[in-house]
Amino acid sequence: MIVSLLYKVTRKLLTVPSVLLRRGTAQEAELLVLRHENAVLRRQLAGSVRYEPADRFWFAVLSGLIPRRHWREIFPVTPGTLLAWHRRFIAAKWDYTVRRRAGRPPTPVAIRTLVMRLARENPRWGHRRIQGELTRLGHRIAASTVWEILRAAGIDPAPRRSGPTWREFLAAQAEGIIAADFFHIDTALGRRLYALVFLEHGTRRLHITGVTAHPTQDWAVQQARNLTANLGIRIETLRFLLRDRDGKYGEAFDAVFQSEEMKILKSAPQAPRMNAHCERIIGSIRREALDHVLIMNEAHARHILAAYERHYNEHRPHQATTAADAPGPLQTPRGPG
């Protein structure tokens, strides 16, 4: 098709001089034919004359500028050959055998990826519900096509799919989860301190409850009591406490939150990604505060961490929260850590 289009455009361009000048066009075309023929002969002195596709192209184009009664005298091939070349170039425009494919066109990769993402993030959605959501987004796709995509990806029909993954659970229950974790601080004199941090998943509000060199279970229980007292009425919206299996927590620590009708969720051993939000905020505390200051003692550490907590809650933007959920007056979208 491209060759046919190029052939037609070239013929049109070469007819412009004949329309504008109305003289001398045939003679110029004859000279072009003779020059091209001479080039072909020079190229093939060692063997028989063979006309390449480009040679046939130019001879067929130039034939439109020379009267047919002179073709036998000018061109090195017969008039029938010229007409055959011309018909071949024109017929290529209507040849769809190369471009034709049997059956429906394939579903775009972006749509297939979106279908599988909706199925993974919404385990209770069947193929018809996913097809409806795609229609609302402006993607026209049949429900049977969605079913084929899910079947090819090995995703079982709803509701026979496996339960939600840990990541799906945390995303669905974010408004009711508060996570806890310990992290250590090394002072300038080599002494190791420990801090207890809490993070509300829904609002990304940070609480650094205390710093100590001896994090006993009694100390952790007292930090839990201080936190529940500071949360006030917001404690009623929380349903889960997420923590690891560190021995510094203990049963009394859990009892403080269970008394507020919260359920304790324990991450698997050596699985920091199950408490990824807390891990990320601890990394942010180190990168943005502790890595730039020499901590001298516990009092100094409390002062630095309190200043960072105010900055994080009142000024630092967070992508995962909206302007309505943001705790501070300057909240704009950004990442959680």
**Max avg pLDDT among 42-46, 76-80, 93-97, 101-105:** 76-80
What tokens appear for 335 in the block?
Answer: 């990442």
Segment 28-34 mean pLDDT: 70
What tokens appear for 20 in the block?
Answer: 């504008």
In sequence order, what E strands does 246-305 have?
Answer: 263-266
Segment 108-125 mean pLDDT: 87
**Which pLDDT belongs to residue 334?**
37
Rounded Cα–Cα distance for residues 219 and 214 (Å): 8
Tens-digit pLDDT profile for residues 271-311: 888 888 899 999 999 999 999 999 999 999 999 999 999 99
**Which pLDDT belongs to residue 197?**
96
- Whether the per-residue pLDDT at 63 is higher than 80: the answer is no
**Which pLDDT belongs to residue 243?**
93
Confidence grade of residue 19 (pLDDT, cut at 50, 70, 90): very low
- Whether the per-residue pLDDT at 57 is higher than 60: the answer is yes
Largest CA-CA distance found in the chain, in angstroms, rounded: 112
pTM above 0.75, yes or no: no
**Which pLDDT belongs to residue 307?**
95
Confidence grade of residue 335 (pLDDT, cut at 50, 70, 90): very low
Burial pattern 262-291, b for ≥16 Cβ within 10 A else e, equals: beebebeeeeeebbbbbbebbebbeeebbe
C-alpha distances in angstroms, 196 versus 223, 240, 337?
8, 17, 17
**Which pLDDT belongs to residue 266?**
92
Mean pLDDT for the chain overall = 80
Tens-digit pLDDT profile for residues 211-267: 999 999 999 999 999 999 988 878 888 999 999 999 999 999 999 999 999 999 998
- Whether the per-residue pLDDT at 178 is higher than 60: the answer is yes
Segment 44-55 mean pLDDT: 68
Task: Pick the more confident residue, 196 or 171.
Answer: 196
- Whether the per-residue pLDDT at 325 is higher than 50: the answer is no
Ordered DSSP codes for 82-96? HHHHHHHHHHGGG--
Confidence grade of residue 163 (pLDDT, cut at 50, 70, 90): low
